[in-house]
Structure 1
Amino acid sequence: AIAASEYQTDALATVDRPFVFAQLSANAYKVQEDIDLSSLRNRVIDGVNNVGNDFNSPGISNVAPPIPPVPDLPNFGEIIGERIPDSYDFNRSGSTTGAGLGVAWPVYTAGRTAALTGASNARTQEAVADSILDKNELYNTLIERYFKAQLAIIAAYLREDAYDTLQQTDHTAQRLFEEGFISRVDRLQAQSALADAKSESIKANNDARLAMIALQRLLRTDYRIKPTTPLFVSSKPLSDVSYYQNLALTNHPGLQKVAAKRAQAQQLRALSDTGYKPTVLLYGFSQVEKDPSWIAGVSASWKLWGGLDKTASLAASDARIRQADLSEIEVSDNLLLLVEKNWNDVNNAQARYQALQSNVDLAQEVLRLRRLGLQEGVNTTIDVVQAQTQALKARTEQAQAANDYVQALASLMQSCGTPLAFNTYLNAADIRLPTLYTQ
C-alpha cells in the first residue's frame, strides 16, 4: 500500500511539466459521387443568351455608335450547353501519409497540480500509519503467543510434577493399605487422584504443544521455536500514568492516520477552490515535411458554468475536515482511557504476583507436612491430594499472574505507540520465572 501511494505521488509530480507528442497518420480513401449538372447547364445557356440580348437592347444603341447589322450568328448558349453533360460521375481513390510533432505545457493550473500531489502525499502518510499499526499489532501478537507458550510449558511442567508427586503418594498409600494402616476407601481415593493427575498432565502437554505450534506458525519456520526468554515481573513501580498518556498522544499511529485524513480533506478543499480559476496552456505543432506547416500559441480557459457545483464541493470538503477534527478528539480520548486501563492492568498483575508468593510458600510447606503425616499415619491420602492441589493451584496462579503482567505491559506499550519499549522493561526485570523448555 505504501509503495502504491508513493508511485502514484511520483506519477502526479510531473503532471504540470511540458509533454511532447508525435502524430503519425496513414489514410486510404475512395470518393465516388454522381453529380447532377442539369441545373448548372441550364443556367449557363440562359446566361450566354442573355448576354447576346443585352447588346441588342435600346439602352446600348443610345450610348454606343450604331453597329452595322451582322449576319445571323449561331446560338452560342446551345453550343456551350451541349458541352456540359447532364451529370458527372466523380470517382477518386488514393492514399496519404503525414507526420507531425507537438508540444503542450500547462504553465498555470491555479494550484490544481499542487492539490492533487498533496492529496496523494497524504494518502501515502495514511498508508504508512496503517503499516505502523499493523506492525505494532504483529509485535503484540508475537509477545502474546511467545509468553503464552512459556506459560503453557510451565503449566505442563507443574502438572507433570504433580503427577510424579501423586505417584509417590499412591505408592505410599498402597504400602500403608497392605500393612493395614489405611482403609480401602483411602486407597481408592489415591488411585482416583493419580488417574486424574495423569489425564491433566497429558492435556497440559498437548496444550503446550499447540501453543508452540501457534508460535511456529506465526514466525513461519520449519522448526520448533525454543522459547528461552522467561516470563518476568518487575518489582519496581511504573512511572505515573500521565507519562504514558503523553507518549501515546505523541507516538500513536492512530493519531498519525487521523492527521493524514485531515491533510487529504484540506487538499481536496484546495482543489475544489480552483473551480472557476483559469488554466493557461502553451502549445505548438509542426508537420514533419520539407516545408512544414506549423502552429504555436497560448490558450486560457475558464469554466463559466456547469460541471460540479463549487459551493457544494467546498462544503463537502469542510465537512470532511470537521470530521477529521472530531475523530482526533475521539481517538485521543480513547487512547487516554486505554493507556490508563493498561497501566492499571500492569499494576494489578504486579501486585497479584507478589501477593501470591506467600501462597506458594505456604502451600509447599503444607504439602511437605501432609506427606510426612501420611507416612506417620496422621494424615489421609485425601489430605495429601488436597495439599497437592493447593500447591499446584498456587504455583499455576502465580505463573498466570506473571503472564498477565507481561501481556498487560505489551498492551501498554502498544497503546503508547512504542511497542519496542517492551524490550527495555524485559531486560530491566528483576523477577524471572524459570525456563522449563525441554526438547
Structure 2
Amino acid sequence: MSEAATIFPGWSTDRLDDRIVNPDSYTKPDILHADYATLRREDPVHWTEPRGFRPFWAITRHADILAVSKANERFINRERTYLSPIEGEEWIRSMTGDTHLFRTLVDLDDPEHRKLRQVTNAWFQPSSVKRKLEGQVRDIARAHVKLMQEKGETLDFVNEVALWYPLKVIMAILGIPEEDAPMMLKLTQETFGATDPDVVARSQHLTTGIGGAEASGNASVDMLAMAQVFFQYFGAVIADRRANPRDDVATVIANGTIDGQPIPDREALSYYVITATAGHDTTSSTASAGFEQLALNPAELAKVQADLSLVPSFVEESIRWSTPVKHFMRTATADTELGGKTIRKGDGLALFYWSGNRDEAVFEDPFTFRADRNPNPHIAFGNGGHICLGMHLARLELRVLFEELLPKIRLLEPDGEPKLSYANFVSGLKTLPVRVQWR
C-alpha cells in the first residue's frame, strides 16, 4: 500500500482526480505534468472529485489562472486557502472556528487584506529592499559560499546551503537572534511539510527552547502544536518590540495599526508566521531547483558564468521551473463562466500554478530550462491583489546568492539522486547531492 493510501484510505493512483491532490504525485513530477498537460488540452476547467476532499474546479491554463487571480471580489480566499482533506478541515474548524490555523494575508480578503498588507508594504518595495537589505544579504550569501567551499567537493545543497541562507535573511529582517535558527528551521519546515514522512520522522520533538511537544503523526494535530509554538514565540517578540522598537519588520508589525487600532493578536502573530515560513521555504526551493538545473545542464551554467548580467533571467527561470507554491484555492462569490464552464456560487477553484508555468500556449518549449528565457511571464508569485508581497526580497536573495556563487565554480555535477518533498501545497527538493570543483 502506498503512503498516500495509508493517509487517505481509498485513494487510487489510477484516478487523475486523486493523483493531482496526492502529495506523493509531487515527488513524481513527470507523471504529474503529464496529468496537467492532459487537463490543459482536454478539460482545463475540470470538475474534480478526489476521494477524501471536497470537490473543486481544477484550473490548469495560464490564462484562466490569471483571470481568477485578478478577479478578487468574484473569487475570494477566506473560505478555502489550500487543498486539505475533509477530515483535516473539520478538525481545524473544531479548534479555531474556521478553516484556518492562521489569519495571514493569503487567508484574508479586502478590506482586511489590503489594510494588513499596507502595514509592511513599504518595507518590501524594490527600492526599500535594495537600500535596506542588499548589503546585509550579500554578506550572508558570501558567508554561505565560503561554507560551501570549506566543505570540499561534495555536499547536499539543500540541507547545507539552501535551507539556511534564506532563513538567515528572514531572521535578519525580523531581528530574530541567530541562536534561534535551528528552532525557526524546524518550525518553518513543519508548516509546509506535515505530510512528509521525513519531516515527521525528524520532528519527534519540537525542540524549541520555549517548550516542546511530542509529534503525534497526525498532520493536523502536529500543525496545531506547531502553530501554538509559533504564537508563543512571536507573542514574546511583539511584547519586546512594543517596549523596545528597532529598525526591523518585527517592530513594524508589533506597532502596526488598522483603522487606528493595534493589529488584532491572531492577525499580528499570523503576520510573523507568513513572513518566516513563506519567505523561507519558497526561496529555498527556488535556489535548489535552479542549482540542480545548472548541474544537469553544463551549457546553461557556462552561459550564465560567461555573462553574469543573465543572473536575473536565470532567477526568473528558476522560479518558473520550481513554482514552489503549487496551488492556492479560491471560492466563487456568484455564478460565473470560466473556460466554457459554469462556476456556481460557493464552488472552490484550485489554481495549479505549476501547470500554468508549463502552459505550451504561453511558454516556448516549456519543459526545457533556459537560463536566458525572455519573455518569462510566469505566475509563480500569483497575480492581482494577492500577488506575493515578498517577491522583490526573494528576487534579491536569489540574484545575490548566484552572483556570489557562480564565479567560484569550475565544475558542477550531480552526485546522486535528489529527493522531492511529499507535499501538494508548498514543495520542492529536500535533498540535492552535488559535486563541485572550485576555482
More helix by share: 1
TM interval, shorter chain, is: under 0.3
Q: Compare CA radii of gyration and give the structure with the larger one.
A: 1
TM-score by length of 1: 0.18
